[in-house]
Structure 1
Amino acid sequence: MQQEEQTETGLRRDLSSRQVGMIAIGGAIGTGLFLGSGLAISIAGPAVILAYVIAAFAALALAYALAEMIVVHPEASGFGAIAHRYLGGLAGFVQRWIYWAAQVVNIGSEVVAAGLYVRFWYPDLPLWVPVVAFSVIMLAVNAAAVRYFGEFEYWFAMIKVVTIVVFILLGLTYIVVGLPGQQATGVDALTDHGGFLPNGLGAVWLALTVVTFSYLGTEAVSVTASESRDPGRDVPRAARGMVLRLALFYILGMLVIVSILPWTQVSTGGGVTQSPFVRLFAIAGIPAAAGVMNFVVLTAALSAMNTNLYVTARMTYSLARDGYAPRWLTGLSRSGTPRRALVLSAAGLALAAVVSVLAPESAFPLLLGMALFGALLTWLIIFISQLAFRRQRSAQGLPPSPVRLPGAPVTTVLAMLFVAGVLVTTPFTEQFDTAWKAGVPFLVLLVIVYFLVRHRAVHRS
């Protein structure tokens, strides 16, 4: 396809295969692996490895389910448009808006995190200065032609991938043969401090709420379909490859951490100097390990923020095209970028960032809870959409999709039960007990707004 080819929506197919693949990775790997992994370890101990394996299967099922549908329908907003097509307007409206809200909250948290990372070098710098600066830069990147966004994200995500690979290789070397001046650790730490399951199987299930949060972002790759040069090839390949890489990174990364450091000593704090990655790089003799990792987590935050801005703008654009957001938001720039839709996401970014700074102890946990609720609900609707997609194509005598989820519909139902179980478990975890408190009222509000919007549209026609 030609680089300047436009889709039926007006968006341009300017994203290459390598950019689509790296955008997928960039959206899924934020600061959670580098700094937040200690939280899951503190809940489950060394058995956190099992939690990452279990969640990987659910994420892989989601990737295949998405690829199966996106190959047939490479539309703007990906899974949101598909839910609208197969489950009706209410499902499409709720899924896209609740996912938009979830991502906007994530964007706000990432830009504030990025500002905090800058203060590692400049502790006296007011937080609002880097927050505003990074917001402007990321908005400018997203407002440019999509191929420039894709190239920017490719290299930002590459920094994260290289760091994780180096960490895993160093860690495995340290475990098996040792490092200069350091003897091999072996794997005794997996069982030395209370056993492999120090807190029991129940703790592994509780840890799944945190672990599943690490895989959220898998679904974002489908949004690139309408701007990929070859969505039938690129999106399924990127979706499958992303989940397999994530699983490899997370599982091997956790294995390295709990084998080298006693799980009781793995920090759950947010400081860069407390990251397990910093500890290992310092042991390996890497100069200024804390400063190196601070740069890495900074790029991780900016990369995730960049991708999520892209996703929210396309979600808004798709809603406007379907009549569930102001028509003005369908406007495109000369380069085919939905800049007006990006403006709305920028407003949400500003709100989330202000709340995270002014009320981090009260309001922001509610926003994060709503984000988790919205993301898990999005996964559920994707699986339901896939069941409806298969059923309708079979009823109409249409050929199956070139890409298929193995074992479906059984695997689809099992994955749905898993996601539903994690969602039900969130009120019982201290970190995400706000999910239902914030998510359910927001869901009810969206349903009410949908019927008001539809009623108004009916009367206008």
Structure 2
Amino acid sequence: MEHERVRERESGLRRDLSSRQVGMIAVGGAIGTGLFLGSGLAISIAGPAVLLAYAVAALVALALAYALAEMMVVHPEAGGFGAIAHRYLGGMAGFVQRWIYWAAQVVNIGSEVVAAGIYFRFWYPEIPLWAPVVAFSAIMLAVNASAVRYFGEFEYWFAMIKVVTIVVFVGLGLVAIFFGLPGEPATGTGALTEHGGFLPNGIGAVWLALTVVTFSYLGTEAVSVTASESRNPTRDVPRAARGMVLRLALFYLLGMFVIVSILPWNSVSTGEELTQSPFVRLFDAAGVPAAAGVMNFVVLTAALSAMNTNLYVTSRMTYSLARDGYAPRWFAGLSRQGTPRRSLVLSAAGLALAAAVSALAPATAFPVLLGMALFGALLTWLIIFASQLAFRRRRAAAGLPASPVRLPGAPVTTVLAMAFVLAVLLTTPFTPQFAMAWKAGLPFVGVLVLAYLLIRRRARGGR
């Protein structure tokens, strides 16, 4: 107990997140509107074989979760994987990783709040878009500014709505496939092979779909940031990391199996309209009253839940950078409840910018931001795996005991996962939706490296 109090004093944050809250925050951050509305894009690229892409990406995400848990059990620090990279790979890696991840998440937050505003206008189309965007931004910022236990409870129930919806969807889908819905015969699994075969566009299309599919698993890394505020990080973080990836794999694989078994893959929309969502079509066939309205509520909560979790992550990243001297020290201040409210100010500014860009210039500027976000997220994964290799090597050289949680098969597993992530990153220019990743991401990394060198030079000159 005394050891835990020392850790709390060192991080400055309060350990008020329960085990169930940590687990649901992890799921909430990883499941956004992509599953409900964006899954059609991956299906349109690979056809029914998209199941292979989701299975492969799930294995890599599981490796990432184990690698994070292995390190966070030993170092449950503010800043999560960014603080670990700083410790084992040096200041530049920690600086670049945390800032590019912060930028990636702020872009995601901006897109989610604009999406939430659009979903709200499904019921009230006469309201201007800016009104719900401002209102939801204020609400989510207030939730994050409160004590972390209130944030955790809020996110628990918001994420629960998504989880329950997916479970109901999968349950209804399996009944429709094998037994039939009331008044409807069983559909069977013929759609898996009847429209050009299981691999209608070839194995190359499955690889291209992996770019989109891997994007669905981004957010897996957010669980590590809760370690500094978990009541029992040694128990809760590994449990949440493993459980989250297994749930995600189950949700995505079963959800995709239901969709491509019931609907011809080439009829699944790649658009963002609620009326085109496979979820809406199935709920409508099952006789769910006002299926489109129900799904509108679900995707609204999905967007707000992802936004809520990402605001939490970005504020802790800024707080961690300020403590290490790589952001103004002012951002390291805490409220009486132990919340980094000052760091939320920076996230709020980024949120306002990203929301404005996504609303005013979605066809021009926002693809650049989205490309930067994807590049930053994949680079973050690469640095996490590199950190784990350095973590193991240094502990072994120092004769320190191994972590109580270990990634099976490492370091081979780690190297294979890194190769996969790098290959996906190199494939992004060939996927139209993410073609801007390298064009936007590389210059931004260059700016961050220069910023780090300037900060270091100024720090040395001040001594």
Tell whether the 8 Å contact from 1:7 to 1:227 is kept in structure 2 after alignment. Answer: no
The one-letter amino acid paired with 1:329 is: F
Aligned to 1:25: 27
Q: How does 1:68-147 map to 2 (within 5 A)?
A: 68-147=70-149
1:396-435 deviations in whole A, cap 9, x for unaligned?
Answer: 0001000000000000000000000000000000000010
Q: Which among 36, 56, 59 is matched to residue 58 of structure 2? A: 56
Give me the CA root mean square deviation: 0.9
CA distance in structure 2 between the aligned counterparts of 1:329 and 1:119, rounded to whole angstroms: 35
Aligned residues: 460
Aligned to 2:407: 405
The one-letter amino acid paired with 1:15 is: L
Aligned to 2:197: 195
Aligned to 1:169: 171
Aligned to 1:416: 418
- Give runs of ≥4 in structure 1 deviating > 4 Å: none
Question: 1:385: how far off?
Answer: 0.2
Aligned to 2:317: 315
Question: 1:151: how far off?
Answer: 0.1
Tell whether the 8 Å contact from 1:7 to 1:13 is kept in structure 2 after alignment. Answer: no
Aligned to 1:453: 455
1:81-128 deviations in whole A, cap 9, x for unaligned?
Answer: 000000000000000000000000000000000000011111111000
Aligned to 2:207: 205
The one-letter amino acid paired with 2:104 is: A
Q: How does 1:20-419 map to 2 (within 5 A)?
A: 20-419=22-421
Aligned to 2:17: 15
Gaps of 5+ in 2: none
1:164-196 deviations in whole A, cap 9, x for unaligned?
Answer: 000000000000000001110000000000000
CA distance in structure 2 between the aligned counterparts of 1:85 and 1:25, rounded to whole angstroms: 27
Tell whether the 8 Å contact from 1:7 to 1:226 is kept in structure 2 after alignment. Answer: no
Question: 1:341: how far off?
Answer: 0.4
Question: 1:273: how far off?
Answer: 1.0
TM-score (norm 1): 0.99
Tell whether the 8 Å contact from 1:26 to 1:304 is kept in structure 2 after alignment. Answer: yes
Question: 1:8: how far off?
Answer: 1.4
Question: 1:7: how far off?
Answer: 4.0
Change in Cα spacing, 1:236 to 1:229, as seen in structure 2 (3 Å) is same
1:64-89 deviations in whole A, cap 9, x for unaligned?
Answer: 00000000000001100000000000
CA distance in structure 2 between the aligned counterparts of 1:119 and 1:48, rounded to whole angstroms: 32
CA distance in structure 1 between the aligned counterparts of 2:210 and 2:173, rounded to whole angstroms: 24
Tell whether the 8 Å contact from 1:367 to 1:438 is kept in structure 2 after alignment. Answer: yes
1:34-83 deviations in whole A, cap 9, x for unaligned?
Answer: 00000000000000000000000000000000000000000001100000
CA distance in structure 1 between the aligned counterparts of 2:361 and 2:449, rounded to whole angstroms: 28
CA distance in structure 2 between the aligned counterparts of 1:401 and 1:69, rounded to whole angstroms: 7
CA distance in structure 1 between the aligned counterparts of 2:75 and 2:184, rounded to whole angstroms: 54
CA distance in structure 1 between the aligned counterparts of 2:333 and 2:129, rounded to whole angstroms: 34
Gaps of 5+ in 1: none
CA distance in structure 2 between the aligned counterparts of 1:120 and 1:260, rounded to whole angstroms: 27
CA distance in structure 1 between the aligned counterparts of 2:51 and 2:385, rounded to whole angstroms: 25
1:120-159 deviations in whole A, cap 9, x for unaligned?
Answer: 1111110000000000000000000000000000000000
CA distance in structure 1 between the aligned counterparts of 2:397 and 2:157, rounded to whole angstroms: 45
Change in Cα spacing, 1:7 to 1:251, as seen in structure 2 (3 Å) is farther
CA distance in structure 1 between the aligned counterparts of 2:313 and 2:274, rounded to whole angstroms: 28
Question: 1:9: how far off?
Answer: 1.6
CA distance in structure 2 between the aligned counterparts of 1:181 and 1:344, rounded to whole angstroms: 55
CA distance in structure 1 between the aligned counterparts of 2:11 and 2:333, rounded to whole angstroms: 11
Q: % of aligned pairs identical?
A: 83
